[in-house]
Amino acid sequence: NAYASSLKEIIGTDKILMASLNGAKLVYAAELIRHTDAGWDAADIDRFEHLLLEVFYPVIRDFAVFANGNWSTGCVKTMMAIGIFCDNQAIFDRAVDWYYNGTDNGSLTHYIINEQGQCQESGRDQQHVQLGIAHLAEACEMAWNQGLDLYGAAGNRLLKGFEYTAQYNLGDEVPFVSWRDKTGKYNHKTISDEGRGRLRPIWEMVYNHYQNRRGMDCPYTTQAARKVRPEGAGPNADCCGFGTLLFSRTPIDMKQDGDDGSIDVEKNSGSDPDHSVHSFLQPQSDMEAGFNR
């Protein structure tokens, strides 16, 4: 919890990215610490809440109306996480409202711009578009756990974005329309093949929701999830990569072997014949080291 005492300000040109990409992950970790016997007392929780409310939240509060959509989708995600951890309804509601009604590239229907599932950054490169939809998906999962279904918004628009992006990155052609973004700066003429085929660890959670919870077909998301399994951290760990660990529905037998605490995971029968799990933290060998946002 040292950051709560030492981090006073997030500054710089990319401060919104810094706060949004890292803030949510800090909250996820803090939730685990808070609800387990990990050594935090009430004062520790108060200090961490102060860090979120006074250092992180002011940076993302007004989103990133000047930028590509992955900036603001990240703000939505982290803002929602802060609202939940701090039990702050106003912050949570602000994130939900922007998801539905935001005026920039980061709201649901401004990022996934049409019923075909084309995304605002589909013409930019495939790294950023996967990051953008991943942020939206994480926000949806948090809201779902609070009893609010954002996954189904705008006719399951999130699923359409995932299906479109997965289909293209699996090698198929997809329709593309030229579209000027909400900043007025970007008007891509064709879909980008930059980063095509480099699947990020973002598919498992969305597959689980639509296929398993809702019983909806999502063939391309399913294929992408199977190809990436087991998920591991993506470039710069922008996406945590715990999807296989947290959202696998296939029964497995687990036994601990040896004094080193190693776990032997044996495949068992399940609904998905390809859903074998060996290491939940295995890095993705075909991921690139990083990229500019």
Query: Would you state the structure tokens that stand for residue 270, as one six-digit string?
Result: 């399940």
Secondary-structure percent of the chain, ordered helix, strand, coil, rounded to 5 = 50, 5, 45
pLDDT for 255 equals 52
**What are the backbone dihedrals phi and psi of residue 34, each rounded to the nearest 5 degrees, phi first?**
-65, -35
pLDDT digits (tens, 9 = 90+) for 167-186: 999 999 999 999 999 999 99
Residue type, position 115, single letter? E
pLDDT for 127 equals 97
CA 254-259-263 angle, 5° bins? 20
pLDDT for 1 equals 87
**What are the residue boundaries of the structural domains of the chain, listed by start?**
3-267
Tally of CB atoms within 10 A around 274 = 13
Per-residue pLDDT of the chain (293 residues; tens, 9 = 90+): 888 989 999 999 999 999 999 999 999 999 999 999 888 999 999 999 999 999 999 999 999 999 999 999 999 999 999 999 999 999 999 999 999 999 999 999 999 999 999 999 999 999 999 999 999 999 999 999 999 999 999 999 999 999 999 999 999 999 999 999 999 999 999 999 999 999 999 999 999 999 999 999 999 999 999 999 999 987 778 999 999 999 975 555 555 555 554 444 443 333 443 433 322 223 333 323 232 33
pLDDT for 252 equals 56
Asked if 112 and 119 count as a contact pair (C-beta separation under 8 A), the reply is: yes
The domain made up of 3-267 has a fold known as: Glycosyltransferase (1.50.10)
Q: Please state the pTM of the whole predicted model.
A: 0.86
- 12-24 as b/e: b if 16+ CB within 10 A: eeeebbbbbbbbb
pLDDT for 103 equals 98
- Interatomic CA distance for residues 97 and 164, integer angstroms: 25
Helix runs in the chain, H state only = 3-6, 15-34, 42-51, 57-60, 69-85, 89-101, 108-111, 126-145, 153-169, 203-207, 219-228, 243-247
- Interatomic CA distance for residues 73 and 174, integer angstroms: 23
**Biggest CA-to-CA distance, the chain:** 60
pLDDT digits (tens, 9 = 90+) for 111-125: 999 999 999 999 999
Query: Would you state the structure tokens that stand for residue 58, as one six-digit string?
Result: 């002011």
Q: Please choose, from the candidates 115, 113, 120, the residue with its C-alpha nearest in 3D space to the C-alpha of residue 64.
A: 120
